[in-house]
A and B are shown apart, each in its own frame.
Chain A
Amino acid sequence: MRSLTTHSKAQGWGCPPILKSLIKISLLAALLVMFNKYFPLEIPQGNNDYLYVFLIGILLSAIELGSRYKDEPISVMTCFPGAFYLVINALICCLGLFFINTFGTHESITKTMGVANENEFSTHVANILYASFGSFFVMRSSFLKLGNDNSQSQVDLGLNIILKKMIDMIDRQVDRDQARRRSKDITRILKDVSFDSLSSRIHPFCMQVMQNIPETEIESLFRELKEISASDDCDESKKMAIGLQIYNIVGKRLFASIIEDLELIQKPSNDDNPQAPSGNDFSHSFSDILEQVNSKST
């Protein structure tokens, strides 16, 4: 059993995504250091605020993007389309600070919020907060909705249309990348797992080892699994569908670990023994009903 998993790890899906992300971040940092050595980036005195605004912009958009892809939020942020979205949002926040510095009132935070201390530092803090949060709000605002809610031609007038279009494009690209990864993971993890063992043993155990899944999510998962099990598809496609449902909640590493811990991986056997009746065997499923109907008719 262990050797099977080790073999799978050797194929690549055992490498933790956080490690990949750290490698990418380290490479980027090294690149920046090298760049700075030959082309020194000198931030003008007093303009460190842009750096803070940029970081807040990255943080807020990372939360936004991470919440859209629950299974592997880190890998979404480190892939190219995700990183592009983060940088664009951060640059918009920086643009907000530029506008505040150019046209702003330079009000200290004390006047706005009634805090006792008034100094230059509080003005900087206020500018950073106004720029980062303000840009976020403004870029997600919509002041007019034209058309019916149900119609396809509904137009949302506001600056949010820019980010909406961008996030649609990025969503699709991120989704393609994530789908490729998910497809590889699921087919590798479930290669030698039978549908019966997956549908009966995995989900209660997953729900017990995870401690913060909302009850509504558990109920909707159970419902979804029931629908998949009752469907008329073949066992192989139902196995993949059930696996994906659970994978989306628990993530790749826990899912693979549970499959391994519960020893669900079966070595392929070459014997020709007849298999247990599946859910699509009429005479087995309807045996009781047929007996009743037969006894009535005779």
Chain B
Amino acid sequence: MKRNSISYTALRDSEAKSTERFYHDLSTKTLKCIGRITSFDTGSSTNIAEIKSYMGINYNALAIIVSNLKKLGYITLFLDKNNSQEVNSGVGPDHLNIKLTKEGLNAILNNTL
């Protein structure tokens, strides 16, 4: 495993790989966390603030994970009815809600994220 030197490309490749693996693992954990908070019920919802406090990660990382899970179709995002007509700056983490989809539930049950 020892080598004489590492190229810049190999270094970037290694970093990209570990980043991808890190966010993949974190996405799995977050999806399970959403499932646990909503009691694995596709009808109930949670919000970003609650997930953040459970996961102990910052908003930057959480935004990457949430958009990744949304792209995969495992969660749906919606705003509180009271805030849905307001501008973005008025929306806080308590108002951005998350619901688990059927695909998300299946992914948790089958462990296939």
Q: Are B11 and A208 in contact (CB under 8 A)?
A: yes
Q: Does B67 contact A (CB under 8 A)?
A: yes
Contact with B along A266-285 (1 / 0, CB 8 A): 00000000000011111111
Q: Are B58 and A231 in contact (CB under 8 A)?
A: yes
Q: Are A227 and B59 in contact (CB under 8 A)?
A: no
Known: A216-B1, A279-B61. A287 touches B18 (CB 8 A): no
Q: Are B91 and A219 in contact (CB under 8 A)?
A: no
Known: A207-B11, A208-B11, A216-B1. A280 touches B18 (CB 8 A): no
How far, in whole Å, are A216 and B6 apart by their CA atoms in the complex? Answer: 13
Smallest Cβ-Cβ distance to A288: which chain B residue: B67
Question: Which of B5, B61, B77, B93 is within 8 Å of A282, CB to CB?
Answer: B93
How far, in whole Å, are A230 and B63 apart by their CA atoms in the complex? Answer: 11
Main secondary structure of the interface of B (DSSP, over half): helix
Q: Which of B15, B17, B21, B92 has the most CB of A within 10 A?
A: B15
Measured between C-beta atoms, what is the minimum distance from A147 to chain B in Å?
33
Q: Are A293 and B77 in contact (CB under 8 A)?
A: yes
Q: Are A207 and B91 in contact (CB under 8 A)?
A: no
Chain A residues contacting B17 (CB-CB under 8 Å) are 219
Chain B residues contacting A291 (CB-CB under 8 Å) are 88
Q: Does A204 contact B (CB under 8 A)?
A: yes
Q: Does B26 contact A (CB under 8 A)?
A: yes
Chain A residues contacting B77 (CB-CB under 8 Å) are 289, 292-293
Measured between C-beta atoms, what is the minimum distance from A195 to chain B in Å?
12
Q: Are A290 and B15 in contact (CB under 8 A)?
A: no
How far, in whole Å, are A282 and B94 apart by their CA atoms in the complex? Answer: 11
Question: Can you report 28 residue pairs joining A to B where beta carbons are below 8 Å apart?
Answer: A204-B11, A204-B15, A207-B6, A208-B5, A211-B3, A212-B2, A215-B6, A218-B11, A218-B14, A219-B14, A219-B18, A223-B21, A229-B61, A230-B26, A230-B58, A232-B52, A232-B57, A279-B60, A279-B61, A283-B89, A284-B59, A286-B48, A287-B88, A288-B63, A289-B70, A289-B77, A290-B96, A292-B77
Q: Give the 10 A-B residue pairs with the shortest CB-CB distance, closest first.
A: A230-B61, A279-B60, A285-B59, A222-B18, A285-B63, A279-B58, A214-B1, A226-B22, A280-B58, A223-B18
